[in-house]
A and B are shown apart, each in its own frame.
Chain A
Amino acid sequence: MTDISPSPRPSTLRAWLTDPHPHSPAQARMQQLWRMWRKLRRNGSALLGLTILLVIACAAIFAPLVATHDIYAQDLGNRLALPSAEHWLGTDELGRDIYSRLLFGARITLYIAFLTAIISAPVGLLIGTLSGYLGGWVDTVMMRVTEVFLAFPSLVLALAFVSALGPGINNAVIAISLTAWPPIARLARAETMIIRHSDYISAVRLQGASALRILVRHVMPMCVPSVIARVTLNMASIILSAAGLGFLGLGAQPPSPEWGAMLSTAREFILSNSYVAAAPGIAILMTSIAFNLVGDGLRDVLDPRHG
């Protein structure tokens, strides 16, 4: 015990991150993140995915600066134009600049994906951990409900919800969230079933912690890594669902530069001017690939059991 003397304060950030004796919980946490990053860095495809995501995120954030045209400005004299120096990816059926619209479309896509994740992940986590920790009839009822939601293919269920809520981006987010939480709940439940029998939970319980405290402070944090990995993988299918809804005319509505909605209007000109549909489709494909790659990489790092 005596040889664990505090090492001298490290001078560089790298030394701080690799110091074998962390001085504070914050430092320990940062070190953990650092080790994960080093593991992730060795995974080439995950890095590729991360790079694509960064590019898309930058495109979304800096869209007003990088865009060359007003995304709603019509130019009917120059409709369905081929790519040129003026319009880098050509123009659509109303003469609007496709490149600029794609950039703003990235905002909508990421907005839908992150909002859905922010809604569905906590709900799934809460239901899964409650169900796994409490067991008994609570578990039975909650898992029944989860199974019912899982019994529908997610796009079909989202369609049904949208039909009841009405079309629009926010309703699409609600509809997709309603279909996205069950797999997360299942995952969190399985994790909780393993965690709740571990010694440290018994120790906390013996100290007199309430079920709520155990759940929030000691069970949920343990489930978070695998939930994050799962949510990242889910993002790919969330984006495909959102684009599908937009394509069917049930998600984002036409003047909006949402990629699915852009494809929906481009469809009418597809046989004569196919490149109009090329760019939004490639954008959807790249985003979805990127989330799949990063999700796979994160799963290997965060959740070794499923790797």
Chain B
Amino acid sequence: MAETASFAKAMPGPARGRNPILPQLLSLLRLVLSVCVTLVGLAALTFLIGRMLPIDPVLAVLGDNATQSAYDAMYVKMGLDRPLIVQFGQYLWNILHFDFGNSLLSGRPVSEEIIRVFPATMELATLAMLIGTGIGVPLGVIAAVYRNSAIDHVARIVSLLGYSAPNFWLGLMGLVLFYATLGWVGGPGRIDLIYEFDLQPVTGFYLIDALMAGNWELFGNVFSHLILPASILALSALAYVSRMTRSFMIEQLEQEYVIAARAKGVGRWRIVWTHVFRNVAVQVITVVALSYAFLLEGAVLTETVFAWPGFGRYMTNSLLAGDMNSVTGCTLVIGVIFVGLNLVSDLLYRVIDPRTRQA
């Protein structure tokens, strides 16, 4: 039994003890430290992927016709003669300064290109997250309240489709139906060609740029291009958010305080929204944060279908061209965002939920 007790103590849980500040600081420190270790691990993995490459990195820079002396000079200049661990140190140092090397395709720094393409993806993923959360959370709540009813089954089927459907195929079919056949939305790309020069990219978020210019026609055009890819991308987030919300809600609805509130004569929906949902809100927010990370992943394929000039398309294009600096740079950036969003959701738990704050 002693073993079981020590096992229970080792389990992560809310900070206990009489003085809650110190343990909290310690656990926060531990969290930050573990995130740092993970980040170094991420860098190590992308470094290794860069090394696994069948392409000779020197020839990739110099071209196939390089002379032996030029080759040797470049070999030394790129630091390839040094021990692997020193090279990794150099790599870490560079990425700490947001330097991923130059793109072999364009010759420009990869970090600059990532910053250039990122707003397009952010805009897409953010709208997708808003749609997914806006529909997914109420759907999950209603499905939990009316468990095993028709609406619960509908919610189940919707989320099954969201988990199972290849979003690139949905994108293709969506284009056929809503763009080519019905003409409800704009086609591929972020904006119609005729508006291309009306838009002054300030933030890189076209919706915001159009709003700032006060040009409603432009705004409408940008929105008509954005809404279809965002909705299709949103489906997977919707599936995830509604499923998780439902299971959190069901767990809470079985608690005794619900019975107590009902015994006091509190109305059904009042109990659901002001008592139960407030208890699951933190969990739902963390799920939304995680789903945002998955949306960035889904964007890789969606962007290819919709010719969306964002991060995912940049990455696949570099990949097809064998532009390794760009690929590892992109992979690393996505990994760091993933870890960051995990950290944010972890911190949200600590900050928002009073049950983890007070012992």
B219 interfacial contact with A, CB 8 Å:
no
Listed from nearest, the 5 A-B pairs whose CB atoms lie closest are: A153-B297, A148-B41, A281-B169, A288-B164, A164-B52
- Residue B168 is within 8 A (CB to CB) of chain A in the complex: yes
Chain A residues with Cβ under 8 A from B324's Cβ?
163-164
- Contact partner of A292 (CB less than 8 A), chosen from B160, B172, B335, B338, is B160
Given the interface contacts A151-B339, A159-B300, does A193 sit within 8 Å of B7 by beta carbon? yes
> Known: A148-B45, A270-B176. Contact between A250 and B319, CB under 8 A?
yes
Q: Using an 8 Å CB-CB cutoff, how does the interface string of A208-249 with B read, 1 for contact, 0 for none?
A: 000000000000000000000000000010001001100111
Q: Decide yes or no whether A155 CB sits under 8 A from chain B.
A: yes
Q: B286 — which chain A residues lie within 8 A by C-beta?
A: none
| Assembly CA distance A145 to B48 (angstroms) | 13
Q: Is the CB of B7 within 8 A of A197?
A: yes
Cβ-defined contact, B175 with A163, below 8 A: no
Name B160's contact: one of A144, A162, A278, A289 (CB within 8 Å). A289
Q: Which residue of B lies closest to A152 (CB)?
A: B335
Contact-size category for A: 35 or more
B177 CB to closest chain A CB, in angstroms? 8
B172 touching A263, Cβ below 8 Å: yes
- Write out the residue numbers on chain A whose beta carbons fall within 8 Å of the beta carbon of B316: 159, 248, 250
Q: Kindly state the separation between the CA atoms of A46 and B169 in the bound complex, as whole angstroms.
A: 25
Judging by beta carbons under 8 Å apart, are B173 and A281 in contact?
yes
Q: Nearest chain A CB to B216's CB is how many angstroms away?
A: 29
Most buried by B among A153, A154, A163, A248: A163
- Could you name 18 residue pairs across A and B whose Cβ atoms are closer than 8 Å? A145-B41, A148-B45, A151-B342, A152-B331, A159-B331, A160-B49, A161-B52, A163-B53, A164-B54, A197-B7, A236-B164, A260-B166, A270-B172, A274-B173, A274-B176, A274-B180, A292-B163, A293-B160
Question: A residues within 8 Å of B by Cβ?
Answer: 144-145, 147-149, 151-157, 159-166, 193, 197, 236, 240, 243-244, 247-250, 260, 263, 266-267, 270-271, 274, 277-278, 280-281, 284-285, 288-289, 292-293
B46 lies within 8 A of chain A by Cβ: yes
By the criterion CB–CB under 8 Å, are A243 and B166 in contact?
Answer: yes
Contact with A along B150-168 (1 / 0, CB 8 A): 0000000000110111101
B38 CB contact (under 8 Å) in A151, A197, A293:
A151
Q: In the bound complex, what is the Cα–Cα distance between A247 and B180 (angstroms)?
A: 21
B196 beta carbon closer than 8 Å to chain A: no
Residue B296 at the A interface, CB < 8 A? Answer: yes
Q: Are A152 and B334 in contact (CB under 8 A)?
A: yes
Q: Is B238 an interface residue (CB 8 A)?
A: no
Is B296 a contact partner of A153 (Cβ separation < 8 A)?
yes
Q: Are A281 and B301 touching (Cβ within 8 A)?
A: no
Q: What are the residues of chain A within 8 A of B173 when measuring CB–CB?
A: 274, 277-278, 281
- Chain A residue at minimal CB-CB distance from B175: A270
Q: Which residues of B contact A244 (CB under 8 A)?
A: 166, 168, 300-301
Q: Given A271-B175, A274-B176, A160–B164 Cβ distance below 8 Å?
A: no
Contact of B42 among A151, A155, A267 (CB under 8 A): A151
Q: Give chain A nearest CB distance to B118 CB in angstroms.
A: 14
Given contacts A152-B334, A159-B300, A160-B328, contact A285 B169 (CB under 8 A): yes
CA distance A289 to B160 in the complex (A): 7
**How far, in whole Å, are A280 and B305 apart by their CA atoms in the complex?**
16
- Whether B166 lies near A284 (C-beta < 8 A) is yes
Report Cα–Cα, A122/B127, bound state, in Å: 40
